[in-house]
Structures are given as structure tokens and as C-alpha cells.
Amino acid sequence: MTSGVPTPAQRAVRWLLSLLMGVSLFACSSKESPNPDPRAYAGADSEVTLEKALGDHGLKVPEEAAEVHFGAFSGREYSFQLSFDVACSSVQGFLTASGFTAPLRPGVVPSLVYSAGLSRGWDVERFGGPRGIEEDVRGVLHRSVLAVDLATPNCRVFVASFK
């Protein structure tokens, strides 16, 4: 896929992955015990800390990141959603430190991020300058990332991952 346009088969797989993630999020959102971390999304597993989920999903958030929010949800799969604000100049460092191998592609809004955003209220379409990595696969780990421009020189980064 050199043009950045997914094939019909890739779109079908992405749709299926989005559907599975949505079902997993719905099933997990009804959990009784909320995560005590104030950065956690409603319904996130209470026993999974941000640090554990970051390690499990191979992510390294920049120290200067602000507005960090996360949710880890276990069920049939172990999914993780993350959002944070950081200087746009730090986004590539996050990708490199987290082992992403594909570059961000302008105009790409990953289906995993989009579907996770529906349940998290991310409203990713309201932001300018979207650039994303549709899918980064490392063994059983599937990760997608989206960086968007904020009104300041900062970017907001959204990550959806599952295994």
C-alpha cells in the first residue's frame, strides 16, 4: 500500500477490527469498579495502571505530555486507549520511542482510533491537520495512532491498541 489508500480487503479488516473493539468497549464499560486514577476513562479496568498498560502496549509517553487520559479494557481482547497533548515537535520522538516503524501519513484517520473515539468522546474530526498510522502490528499487538493540530503549537495524540 504505497499510495496510502487502503484496499477493499484492508477496509473490511479494519471495519471488523473496529466492530470488535466497539463490542469490547461496550462490554467493559459496564464494570462496577472504576479505575481510581483520575486520568482513567469511565469504565476502565480498575486493576490496570497507566504504567502497566503503557508497558503492555509498548508505548512511551513523553515526560512533558499534558492532559493524559487512558483506559485499559480486558475481555476477549485487551484494548487500550490513550490521549495526550504534547509539542508537535515531540510527536516523532514518541513514535520512535514506542517502536512505530511506519511514518504518520497526512489525512489518515485510523479506523481503530476513530471507533475508540466514538466511545471516548474524542471527536477527532473536529481537529485540523490529521496524520495517522492506520495499523502497526508487533506480533499479537495491533496499534494505531493519530496526531492532530491544536490551536497552539501543540498536538493532541490519540492511540488505540489491542492484543
Cell for 50?
Answer: 497507566
Distance separating alpha carbons of residues 67 and 35, to the nearest angstrom: 17
In sequence order, what are the beta bridge partners of 142? 137, 162
pLDDT: is 118 or 12 the higher one?
Answer: 118
pTM over 0.85: no
Residue spans of the domains in the chain: they are: 8-162
Nearest-angstrom CA–CA distance, 134 and 156 = 17
Indicate the angle between helix axes 111-120 and 8-28, nearest 10 degrees. Answer: 30
Q: What is the pLDDT of residues 114-159, one digit of tens each?
A: 999 998 999 999 999 999 999 999 889 999 999 999 978 999 999 9
Q: Are 44 and 93 in contact (CB under 8 A)?
A: no
Residue 36 above 60 pLDDT? yes
Using alpha carbons only, how large is the chain's radius of gyration in Å?
A: 15
Grid cell locating 57: 502496549
Mean pLDDT within 10-23 = 56
The better pLDDT of the pair 7, 109 is held by: 109
Residue 111 CA to residue 39 CA, distance in Å, equals 24
Tell me the percentage of the chain whose pLDDT exceeds 70: 82
Q: Are 127 and 150 in contact (CB under 8 A)?
A: yes
pLDDT-derived band at 21 (thresholds 50, 70, 90) equals: low
Which residues sit opposite 136 in a β-bridge?
A: 143
Instruction: Please report which confidence band the pLDDT of residue 33 belongs to, taking 50, 70 and 90 as the band edges.
Output: low
Task: Report d(CA 60, CA 42) in Å as an integer.
Answer: 23
Distance (Å, rounded) from C-alpha 157 to C-alpha 81?
11
- At 2, the pLDDT band (50, 70, 90 cuts) reads very low
The predicted pLDDT at position 17 comes to 56
